[in-house]
């Protein structure tokens, strides 16, 4: 087998047992790796209705067929589980070096089942899997755990928040890289699993080296030629978006009550670059190098989403405060979008203008699960419901919305509503066509033509999450190039359409999982605020009838019925057995 | 074909027209009349000017590309051009009171 290792590690924590399971080529061809592989394991192994924080949940880590090769941006891996925040199936992927090292250690993935009696960590070293005592690491935050375990290999771990069951706790790998959003760190903590350490020196075998070399050069050339990947992201990171979204009136401000922030320049990428000397900290095999930290410190430069939530949405205009909040989140291992949005929700509920000190105090209380943090650590949906004001939680399916006001980007509005993991911009990044004009500019203020586009981009992104490569490369490199290099690596012929079909298969399995968890078409919606209020631009509230018509059209394009349930014909076409 | 997406103009907003009803893209030059447009520069585009915010008087009928020449931005500089909150191309005609935001080609998430 080429590209893949053809096996995964299974760790039964309750029984303190480990096992190596082989995967056949047909299975891997259907699901690729990363998100696809993890979703299939969770779909097959997690019983309906279980508590995500119980020992019955599983946690899958999966790399893809390209992970660990020299293919640009292929340093990623995915984690998949049932989310304690949303109750849906949930995948999250991260860069750094952990994913490639998992492949070098001899595995395509790792599935963790059950619950350990005492805190443990899992070590995988050149094919050997061990469960080790982690009592000395319990109660420590992510940087310290990384530091202590990095002598044994690449580390993915949780901080205090994951131990304490904060519903949006992250898994952090290689210090600052994050499997964020849905609380998979809390799933890890509920299993008494503090960390995974991987190390190995296995080389990834490539089927056709000559072809691989050609496609590798094609992809590299495209990344270097594109100003997006070679300049925009590389020089300013994602923070460069703050001024743009502010001028486009889609920058969430004051918990999405407004769409423009008077102090945007103060929290912008331009400001960060003018104040701090920046050092790039690229992921494995990545020429884009968007991740950055302040030179001679270990302080991470926050991403756009983080700035939009702690900054404009919480109405904080001090970039240093936002950087501190970001740092605290990474230390405790909590999601910056949900943390920021839940605090913005709290501020609206209390009618409070947050000070810099108060913001940082609330982040810390969430991480420690103390004081008001005991309520906020449930996420904004549960917090707002408990306070009898559910409409001020800016979430879809329980996941807080990221930094783009959907009233000004209607394709993204549909993308938010139909995302299988809830309010997320990375299932179909419609900002590409609607704002950047990539790959082609479309009118951002109409639903017309969006339903078809959204589902195609969702399918493509799902495939990309399964290879696993970085979505940022998609601004420059198309599905044809990915299919080509995948074919050269694996020796199996893939074309653009086969990648899209694999993406569609995985998307439908996620939908089936969610339907058995009592999600329905009623959950494919947006917070009421976006239908009722205009965010400060006259007439820009979303018209409900237009939204519903677009949603029905989306179901039709997907081959689902009017209730949003995949038809038997569609499942048969995708070779999905119920 | 970026300019195919219609946009409301500053003047049409003042007259209270609906969002997409204004499409009078001027193409011929009229002598002596000037337009006043506001220009905001961001990120790497700031290197082309001493100021980040400019108010520029330019001949009626001018397009985005003419404005770039006035500021001293090379025509082949990859740019994301936003005119009154709409992504536009370099051939887009300018109108009185337009606000232009010039970004490098960026993306992210």
CB contact under 8 A, A426 and B42: no
Domain that holds residue B58: 34-104
Nearest CA in chain B to A235: B44
Tell whether B58 and B9 lie within a shared domain: no
Give me the mean pLDDT over the A95-118 stretch.
98
A242, A260, A270, A477: best to mutate for the B interface, most B CBs within 10 A:
A270
Q: Which residue's structure tokens are 């290792």?
A: A5
Give the model's confidence band at A556: pLDDT under 50 very low, under 70 low, under 90 confident, else very high.
very high
Tell whether B53 and B82 lie within a shared domain: yes
Residues of chain A found within 8 Å of residue B2, distances taken between Cβ atoms: 437, 441
Residues of chain A found within 8 Å of residue B101, distances taken between Cβ atoms: 243-244, 247
Q: How close is the nearest chain A Cα to the Cα of B93, in Å?
A: 18
Nearest CA in chain B to A272: B43
Give me the mean pLDDT over the B81-93 stretch.
94
Nearest CA in chain A to B76: A227
Supply the pLDDT for residue A313.
Answer: 98
**Res. B3: pLDDT tops 80:** no
- CA B10 to chain CA centroid, nearest Å: 11
Residues of chain B found within 8 Å of residue A232, distances taken between Cβ atoms: 43, 104-108
Give me the mean pLDDT over the A252-277 stretch.
97
CATH number of the domain enclosing A157: 3.60.9.10
Cα A162 to Cα A159: distance, rounded to the nearest angstrom: 6
In a domain, A153, yes or no: yes
**Res. B23: pLDDT tops 60:** no
Burial A466-498 (b: 16+ CB within 10 A, else e): bbbbbbbbbbbbebebbbbbbbbbbebebebeb
- Identity of the residue in B2, B87, B107 whose CB atom sits nearest the CB atom of A232: B107
In a domain, A160, yes or no: yes
In a domain, A284, yes or no: no
Supply the pLDDT for residue A235.
Answer: 84
Bridge pairing between strands B34-41 and B99-104? parallel
Total residue count of chain B as it appears in this document: 109
Burial B43-75 (b: 16+ CB within 10 A, else e): bbbbeeeeeeebebebebbbbbeebbeeeebee
Give me the helices (H) in A333-423, please. Answer: 336-350, 356-368, 373-376, 380-386, 410-418
Tell whether B59 and B20 lie within a shared domain: no
ipTM entry: 0.87
Tell whether B41 and B89 lie within a shared domain: yes
Give the model's confidence band at B4: pLDDT under 50 very low, under 70 low, under 90 confident, else very high.
very low
Tell whether B45 and B92 lie within a shared domain: yes
Supply the pLDDT for residue B22.
Answer: 40
Tell whether B21 and B71 lie within a shared domain: no
Could you read off the pLDDT of A8-24 as tens digits, one per residue?
999 999 999 999 999 99
Give the model's confidence band at B13: pLDDT under 50 very low, under 70 low, under 90 confident, else very high.
very low
Residue scoring higher pLDDT (A437 or A79): A79
CB contact under 8 A, A429 and B109: yes
Q: How many CB atoms lie within 10 A of CB A528?
A: 12
A178, A238, A243: best to mutate for the B interface, most B CBs within 10 A:
A243
Bridge pairing between strands B79-83 and B99-104? antiparallel
Residue A9 sits at φ, ψ, to 5 deg, of -95, 135
Chain A with chain B: Cβ pairs closer than 8 A: 92
Supply the pLDDT for residue B26.
Answer: 45
- Identity of the residue in A228, A249, A269 whose CB atom sits nearest the CB atom of B105: A228
Supply the pLDDT for residue B31.
Answer: 55
Please report the beta strands in A397-454, taking only residues with DSSP state E, as ranges in sequence order. Answer: 399-400
Tell whether B60 and B76 lie within a shared domain: yes
Supply the pLDDT for residue B15.
Answer: 40
Looking at residue A435, the DSSP 8-state letter turns out to be I
Supply the pLDDT for residue A338.
Answer: 98
Give me the mean pLDDT over the A238-244 stretch.
93
**Res. A287: pLDDT tops 80:** yes
In a domain, A268, yes or no: no
B3, B78, B108: best to mutate for the A interface, most A CBs within 10 A:
B108
Nearest CA in chain A to B86: A248
Round the average pLDDT of chain A to a whole number and report it. Answer: 97
Could you read off the pLDDT of A311-322 as tens digits, one per residue?
999 999 999 999
Cα A330 to Cα A575: distance, rounded to the nearest angstrom: 40
Tell whether B40 and B91 lie within a shared domain: yes
Q: How close is the nearest chain A Cα to the Cα of B79, in Å?
A: 9
In a domain, B5, yes or no: yes
**High-pLDDT (> 70) share of chain B, %:** 69
A544, β-bridge pairs: none
A181, A229, A236: best to mutate for the B interface, most B CBs within 10 A:
A236
Cα A159 to Cα A185: distance, rounded to the nearest angstrom: 8
CB A391 within 8 Å of CB A333: no
Interface of B with A (CB under 8 A): 2, 5, 19, 40, 42-44, 46, 78, 80, 82, 85, 87, 101, 103-109
Residues of chain B found within 8 Å of residue A227, distances taken between Cβ atoms: 78, 104-105
**Res. A278: pLDDT tops 90:** yes
- Identity of the residue in A243, A425, A539 whose CB atom sits nearest the CB atom of B109: A425
Give the model's confidence band at B30: pLDDT under 50 very low, under 70 low, under 90 confident, else very high.
very low
**Res. A416: pLDDT tops 60:** yes
Supply the pLDDT for residue A228.
Answer: 80
Cα A158 to Cα A145: distance, rounded to the nearest angstrom: 8
Supply the pLDDT for residue B9.
Answer: 52
In a domain, A12, yes or no: yes
In a domain, A343, yes or no: no
B102, β-bridge pairs: B41, B81
Q: How close is the nearest chain B Cα to the Cα of A255, in Å?
A: 19
- Identity of the residue in A241, A303, A402 whose CB atom sits nearest the CB atom of B106: A241
CB contact under 8 A, B109 and A304: yes
Q: How close is the nearest chain A Cα to the Cα of B18, in Å?
A: 10
- When divided into structural domains, chain B yields a total of 2
Residues of chain B found within 8 Å of residue A269, distances taken between Cβ atoms: 43
Supply the pLDDT for residue A438.
Answer: 86
Respond yes or no on whether the N-terminal peptide bond of residue A468 is cis (omega within 30° of 0).
yes
CATH number of the domain enclosing B44: 3.10.20.30
Tell whether B16 and B50 lie within a shared domain: no
In a domain, A321, yes or no: no
Torsion on CA atoms A467, A471, A475, A477, rounded to nearest 10:
-10
Tell whether B38 and B16 lie within a shared domain: no
Burial class (CB in 10 A: 0-12, 13-18, 19+), A356: middle
- When divided into structural domains, chain A yields a total of 1
CB contact under 8 A, A240 and B5: no
Domain that holds residue A111: 7-199
Kind and range of the H or E run holding B58: strand B53-59
3-class DSSP state of A9: strand
Nearest CA in chain B to A424: B109
Could you read off the pLDDT of A148-200 as tens digits, one per residue?
999 999 999 999 999 999 999 999 999 999 999 999 999 999 999 999 999 99
Tell whether B40 and B84 lie within a shared domain: yes
Give me the mean pLDDT over the A111-135 stretch.
98
CB A113 within 8 Å of CB A12: yes
3-class DSSP state of A534: coil
Tell whether B52 and B88 lie within a shared domain: yes
Name the residue among A46, A9, A2, A41 with its Cα closest to residue A25: A2
In a domain, B109, yes or no: no
Q: How close is the nearest chain A Cα to the Cα of B72, in Å?
A: 20
Q: Which of A255-259, A333-337, B76-80 has the lowest mean pLDDT?
A: B76-80
Give me the mean pLDDT over the A381-404 stretch.
98
Give me the mean pLDDT over the A59-69 stretch.
98
Interface of A with B (CB under 8 A): 226-228, 231-233, 235-238, 240-241, 243-244, 247-249, 269-270, 290, 303-305, 402, 425-426, 429, 431-432, 435-438, 441-443, 445, 471-472, 475, 539
Give the model's confidence band at A564: pLDDT under 50 very low, under 70 low, under 90 confident, else very high.
very high
Kindly list the distances between the CA atom of residue A312 and the CA atoms of A436, A480, A541, B93, in Å, as whole numbers in the listed order: 21, 39, 20, 33
Give the model's confidence band at B109: pLDDT under 50 very low, under 70 low, under 90 confident, else very high.
low
Q: Which of A57-71, A127-141, A234-248, A399-413 has the lowest mean pLDDT?
A: A234-248
Q: How many CB atoms lie within 10 A of CB A540?
A: 17
Q: In what order do the strands lie in the sheet with B34-41?
A: B53-59, B34-41, B99-104, B79-83, B86-88
Both tokens assigned to A567: 């038809």
Give me the mean pLDDT over the B79-87 stretch.
93
Supply the pLDDT for residue A113.
Answer: 98
Nearest CA in chain B to A428: B109
CB A309 within 8 Å of CB A340: yes
In a domain, A214, yes or no: no
Q: How close is the nearest chain B Cα to the Cα of A195, in Å?
A: 27
Give the model's confidence band at A413: pLDDT under 50 very low, under 70 low, under 90 confident, else very high.
very high
């Amino acid at each position: 087998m080429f590209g893949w290792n053809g096996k995964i590690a299974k760790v039964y924590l309750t029984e303190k047992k480990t096992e190596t399971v082989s995967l056949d080529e047909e299975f891997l061809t259907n699901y690729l790796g990363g998100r696809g592989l993890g979703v299939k394991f969770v779909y097959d192994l997690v019983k309906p209705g279980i508590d995500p924080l119980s020992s019955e949940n599983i946690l899958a880590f999966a790399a893809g067929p390209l992970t660990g090769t020299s293919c640009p941006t292929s340093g990623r891996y995915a984690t998949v589980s049932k989310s304690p925040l949303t109750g849906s199936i949930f995948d999250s992927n991260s860069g750094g070096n952990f994913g490639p090292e998992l492949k070098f250690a001899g595995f395509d993935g790792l599935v963790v089942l059950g619950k350990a009696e005492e805190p443990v960590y899992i070590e995988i070293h050149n094919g050997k899997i061990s469960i080790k005592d982690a009592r000395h690491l319990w109660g420590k935050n992510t940087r310290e755990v990384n530091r202590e375990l990095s002598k044994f290999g690449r580390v993915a771990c949780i901080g205090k928040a994951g131990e304490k069951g904060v519903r949006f706790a992250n898994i952090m790998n290689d210090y600052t890289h994050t499997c964020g959003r849905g609380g998979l760190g809390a799933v890890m903590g509920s299993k008494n699993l503090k960390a995974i350490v991987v190390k190995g020196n296995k080389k990834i075998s490539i089927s056709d080296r000559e072809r691989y070399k050609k496609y590798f050069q094609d992809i590299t050339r495209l990344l270097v030629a594109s100003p997006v990947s070679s300049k925009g992201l590389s020089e300013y990171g994602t923070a460069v978006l703050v001024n743009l979204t502010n001028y486009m009136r889609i920058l969430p401000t004051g918990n999405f009550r407004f769409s423009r922030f008077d102090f945007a320049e103060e929290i912008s990428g331009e400001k960060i670059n003018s104040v701090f000397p920046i050092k790039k900290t690229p992921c494995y095999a990545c020429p884009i190098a968007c991740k950055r930290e302040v030179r001679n410190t270990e302080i991470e430069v926050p991403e756009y989403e983080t700035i939009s939530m702690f900054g404009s949405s919480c109405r904080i205009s001090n970039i240093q405060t936002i950087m501190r909040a970001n740092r605290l989140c990474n230390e405790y291992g909590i999601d910056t979008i949900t943390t920021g949005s839940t605090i913005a929700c709290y501020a609206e509920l209390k009618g409070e203008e947050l000070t810099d000190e108060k913001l940082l105090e609330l982040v810390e209380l969430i991480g420690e699960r103390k004081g008001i943090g005991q309520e906020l650590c449930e996420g904004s949906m549960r917090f707002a419901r408990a306070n009898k004001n559910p409409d001020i939680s800016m979430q879809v399916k329980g996941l807080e919305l990221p930094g783009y006001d959907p009233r000004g980007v209607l394709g993204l509005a549909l993308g938010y509503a139909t995302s299988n993991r809830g309010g997320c911009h990375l299932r179909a990044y419609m900002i590409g066509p609607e704002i950047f004009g990539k790959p082609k500019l479309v009118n951002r203020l109409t639903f017309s033509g969006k339903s078809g586009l959204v589902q195609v981009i969702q399918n493509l992104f799902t495939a990309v999450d399964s290879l696993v490569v970085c979505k940022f490369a998609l601004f420059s490199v198309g599905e044809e190039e990915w299919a080509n290099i995948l074919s050269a690596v694996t020796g199996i012929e893939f074309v653009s359409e086969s990648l899209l079909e694999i993406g569609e298969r995985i998307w439908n399995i996620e939908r089936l999982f969610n339907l058995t968890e009592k999600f329905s078409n009623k959950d494919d919606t947006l917070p009421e605020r976006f239908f009722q209020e205009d965010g400060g631009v006259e007439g820009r509230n979303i018209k409900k009838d237009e939204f519903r018509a677009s949603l029905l059209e989306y179901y039709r394009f997907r081959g689902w019925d009017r209730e949003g349930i995949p038809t038997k014909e569609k499942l048969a076409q995708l070779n999905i057995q119920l | 074909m970026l300019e195919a997406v219609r946009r409301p103009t500053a003047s049409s907003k003042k007259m209270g027209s609906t969002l997409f009803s204004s499409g009078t893209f001027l193409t011929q030059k009229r002598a002596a009349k000037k337009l006043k447009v506001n220009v905001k520069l961001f990120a790497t585009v700031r290197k082309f000017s001493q100021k980040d915010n400019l108010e520029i008087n330019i001949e009626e009928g001018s397009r985005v590309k003419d404005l770039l020449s006035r500021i001293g931005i090379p025509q082949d500089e990859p740019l994301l051009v936003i005119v009154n909150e709409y992504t536009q191309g370099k051939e887009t005609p300018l109108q009185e009171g337009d606000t232009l935001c010039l970004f490098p080609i960026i993306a992210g998430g």
